Amino acid sequence: MSSICDTPLPCLAEHFTKAASILGQSSTYGADKLFSHAIRAFEDNIPQSYDEITNKRELFEKWIFQGNSNPPVAIYLLDFFRQHKLQKFLPWVLYLLSTMPSHAQFRRQILLSQDDIQLTLKGKEEIQQWSHSSLSEIISASYEPCLSWSCTKDLRSRWISALLRCDVQLGVHARIEQFEALERGDTSIEFRFLGASTSVVGASSTSLPSPCHRCKEVWLQKEKECTMKFWDKLPTFYDLPTWFTLSREKYW
């Protein structure tokens, strides 16, 4: 956007804060065109389909978990989107709240309403269940007949346990990033924890043995299918209507 920002975060914060402000005012004053533009600012930064999970995640996540805002923007946004009948953004905000870094969870629990605490915890539980079953589906898959000496049971269980840790601690999007890394030929798993003010407060890396080329292709294909299923199910984890229904909602 602008080249006058010295550091990205204030600029980023202003971009979304401005979008939220214009959205609220255009709703009050019946400014339809501006309202649509303001929605687009969120659409451009909140994933709208499964293949946008990783590339649209980062900016929005940095903004909503900025450390110095009280209450955190994510909590304000839940009410804001509900108030403006923008339910299609709720699954992603709730998902981010469910998978937020553990050091920030205590704060979340103080500030969220009782209903939303239950909703995010329920979502977290369902995501973890989904995560367990889909991971074992992906990593157990193999090219038939795989004759490689490398694709052993031990290799698969090491991958499953590393990716499970990744899912549980960081969320499904982190796992997707790991498979993108695998596709590029990288077999180390990184745990990067975003902290307050978006700096990395903790990181660790695990190197894993590489599966054979053909099994890797099968894993990547399976992972894509599972990610699509995850995306389809995401609203239902939070008792929201399907994406199809959410996308047809009228704002006025």
Partner 1 sequence: MILVAGSTLFKVYAGLLVKESNELRNLMEGPRPPNVALHEGIEVIRVLNSETDVAWFLQAALQSRWVTDTYQL
Q: Which residues bind partner 1 (CB under 8 A)?
A: 1-2, 8, 11-12, 15, 18, 21-22, 24-26, 28-34, 37, 41, 44-45, 59
Q: Which is nearer to partner 1, 15 or 108 (CB)?
A: 15
Copy the structure tokens of residue 104.
């920030």
Cβ atoms of residues 230 and 52 within 8 Å: no
CB of 36 to partner 1, least distance (A): 9
Q: Give the shortest CB-87-to-partner 1 separation in angstroms.
A: 23
Angstrom distance (rounded) from CA 168 to CA 13: 28
Given the complex with partner 1, which of 32 and 239 has the nearer CB atom? 32
> What are the phi and psi torsion angles at 204 (to 5°)?
-145, 160
Cα dihedral 98, 104, 106, 110 in deg (nearest 10): -80
CB 91 within 8 Å of CB 235: yes
Length of the chain: 252
Least distance from partner 1 to the Cβ atom of residue 219, Å: 31
The CA distance from 220 to 139, in Å, is 10
Question: How far apart are alpha carbons 168 and 164 in whole angstroms?
Answer: 6
Instruction: Using the minimum distance from each CB to partner 1, give the nearer residue, 18 or 213.
Output: 18
Specify the residue for token string 């946008």. 52
Query: Closer CB to partner 1, residue 73 or residue 138?
Result: 73
Q: How far is the CB of 93 from partner 1 (least distance, A)?
A: 18
**Smallest distance from partner 1 to CB 59, Å:** 6
Task: Name which of 33 and 250 has its Cβ closer to partner 1.
Answer: 33
Q: Which residues pair with 193 in a beta bridge?
A: 202
- Tokens 């019946």 — which residue? 30
Cα 55 from Cα 53, distance rounded (Å): 6
Residue closer to partner 1 (CB basis): 30 or 145: 30
- Shortest spacing between CB 68 and partner 1, in angstroms: 18
